[in-house]
């Protein structure tokens, strides 16, 4: 009898937990919550349903802009001439006029804070040459990221037939955007001013109220159209843990904020992030073939972290390094091997990419001469 009661209690507890999970974002057609460093999904509901993303589309637009800047093909200080096409954009605007010139950093502020459709079209023309080419870049990037629920028809998110994404795909785009940490300097601003060439200013107010009213929120992008309803991709950091949530298809902005708050509260109150190994920790020193130097230290390409329930104990571990021969030239961030992080029982916790701590050029004839001369003169 006791055994039967125990089984019933377990089933009841499981049902309660399942119900709590299902109700984390009750006002949203689709939702997802994940931790960014591990990529672990904490909660999802209909996360692959294809829906209109509205201005969350600008997450991909900002990703392409930031990639172009980080690849040194564009600067925050570069000038952008506003076209008639950009100035004529409807929906949310920062009121740009054709013939005006703005810095990239100012237009990025107009996109990130006020969701300016005119600003994002101007940047699409700057980065892609034409809006059409920029949209192709958006879809190519989505394919590169392995996103299968997304097709873009424009860079701004106004309702267009065949323009759709999903909560899962938006989360993956946002996770990629967060690798460019400087974007948070823009998305975390609640209010600011865009100075116009004639000396006047346009007041910019963040459409995501949680930036101001939820501790730790510093981005990313809201959206609304009659088709999409209210949606938002949100990121927040507390202590060493960053969460990322997406809610889509919500009837009001208040309910959008409520569902997002529920998701973030659940994540922060239930989980912790354990730092297994910093990417700066030297794992070993290996020989470099045909390099200007003979040996180099190895490190992880990124921190090794583990998402755990708050009351779980920390993990004891050891590292099994798997590196083949390394030949010059080789650069920092080039993957040269793997680090198997194991627990004390020999169970694999995770596998991380390994790279070198500095760039190493290929040796030339003069380098070989110096090495041979050193051997002759020192015996080393």
Catalytic sites, residue numbers: 55, 58, 115
Paired tokens of 337? 């091997």
Pairing of strands 284-289, 317-323: unpaired
Question: Quick check: helix, strand or coil at residue 195?
Answer: strand
The CB-based long-range contact list for 88-97 (8 Å cut-off, 24+ gap) reads 88/118, 89/117, 89/118, 89/121, 89/156, 90/117, 90/158, 91/117, 91/156, 91/158, 92/55, 92/116, 92/117, 92/207, 93/117, 93/118, 94/118, 94/119, 94/194, 94/202, 94/204, 95/202, 96/122
Q: Find out whether 323 and 56 touch, Cβ atoms under 8 Å.
A: no
Query: How far apart are the C-alpha atoms of 194 and 203, rounded to whole Å?
Result: 7
Paired tokens of 209? 């109220």
Query: How far apart are the C-alpha atoms of 256 and 241, rounded to whole Å?
Result: 23
Pairing of strands 271-277, 304-309: antiparallel
Q: Find out whether 112 and 183 touch, Cβ atoms under 8 Å.
A: yes
């Amino acid at each position: 009898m006791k055994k039967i009661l125990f089984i019933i209690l377990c089933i009841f507890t499981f049902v309660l937990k399942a119900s709590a999970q299902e109700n984390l974002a009750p006002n949203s057609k689709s939702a997802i919550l994940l931790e960014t460093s591990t990529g672990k999904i904490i909660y999802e509901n209909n996360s692959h349903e294809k829906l209109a993303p509205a201005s969350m589309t600008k997450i991909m637009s900002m990703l392409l802009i930031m990639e172009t800047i980080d690849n040194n093909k564009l600067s925050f200080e570069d000038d952008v001439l506003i076209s008639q096409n950009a100035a004529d954009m409807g929906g949310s605007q920062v009121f740009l006029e054709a013939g005006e010139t703005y810095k990239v950093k100012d237009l990025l502020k107009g996109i990130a804070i006020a969701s300016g459709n005119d600003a994002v079209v101007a940047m699409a023309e700057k980065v892609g040459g034409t809006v059409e080419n920029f949209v192709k870049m958006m879809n190519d990037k989505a394919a590169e990221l392995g996103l299968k629920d997304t097709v873009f028809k424009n860079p701004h998110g106004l309702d267009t037939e065949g323009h759709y994404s999903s909560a899962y795909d938006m989360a993956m785009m946002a996770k990629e955007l967060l690798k460019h940490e400087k974007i948070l300097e823009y998305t975390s601003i609640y209010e600011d001013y865009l100075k116009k060439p004639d000396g006047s200013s346009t007041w910019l107010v963040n459409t995501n109220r949680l930036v101001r009213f939820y501790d730790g929120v510093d981005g990313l992008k809201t959206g609304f159209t009659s088709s999409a309803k209210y949606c938002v991709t949100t990121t927040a950091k507390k202590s060493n843990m960053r969460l990322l949530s997406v809610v889509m298809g919500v009837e009001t902005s208040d309910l959008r904020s409520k569902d997002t708050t529920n998701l973030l509260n659940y994540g922060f109150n239930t989980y912790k992030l354990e730092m297994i190994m910093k990417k700066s920790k030297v794992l070993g020193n290996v020989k470099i073939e045909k390099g200007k130097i003979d040996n180099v230290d190895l490190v992880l390409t990124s921190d090794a972290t583990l998402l755990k329930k708050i009351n779980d104990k920390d993990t004891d571990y050891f590292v099994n390094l798997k590196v083949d021969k390394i030949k010059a030239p080789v650069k920092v961030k080039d993957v040269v091997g793997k680090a198997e992080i194991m627990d004390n029982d020999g169970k694999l916790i995770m596998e991380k990419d390994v790279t070198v701590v500095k760039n190493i050029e290929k040796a030339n004839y003069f380098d070989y001469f110096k090495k041979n001369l050193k051997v002759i003169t020192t015996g080393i």
